Amino acid sequence: MATGPMRATASTIARICAACGDRIYFAEEGSWVIPGLSRAGINDNNLRSTPDCQTDCLATFHRPPSRDLNKGSRNAVFVNGPVETVSAYPAGNTYVLSWPAGGTPPS
């Protein structure tokens, strides 16, 4: 049984599992900096977003409206299995879709 900081309580596990159905398991990260949305282009194939949009965002170059490659969408695989089209907009949506149970992302 785990102890210390790695110990998971039943309430923590339940809270995280309840949020998993609408959380992304895999999606493409953006390939370039988009002011107000991300400050990192494709850098490590590890989509890690923060609520302040200072790191990665979901890719924006699929099916862009009016050929604006900063405004498109992409498909994402969710933890519970479905594949859906998602958007990085509004700003912060990457964080909302990718961090189970919200809160502060790990450093």
Q: What is the pTM of this model?
A: 0.72
pLDDT-derived band at 16 (thresholds 50, 70, 90) equals: low
Q: Which residue has the higher pLDDT, 67 or 2?
A: 67
Contacts of 67 (CB under 8 A, 6+ apart): none
pLDDT-derived band at 33 (thresholds 50, 70, 90) equals: very high
- Identify the pLDDT of residue 69: 94
- Identify the pLDDT of residue 13: 67
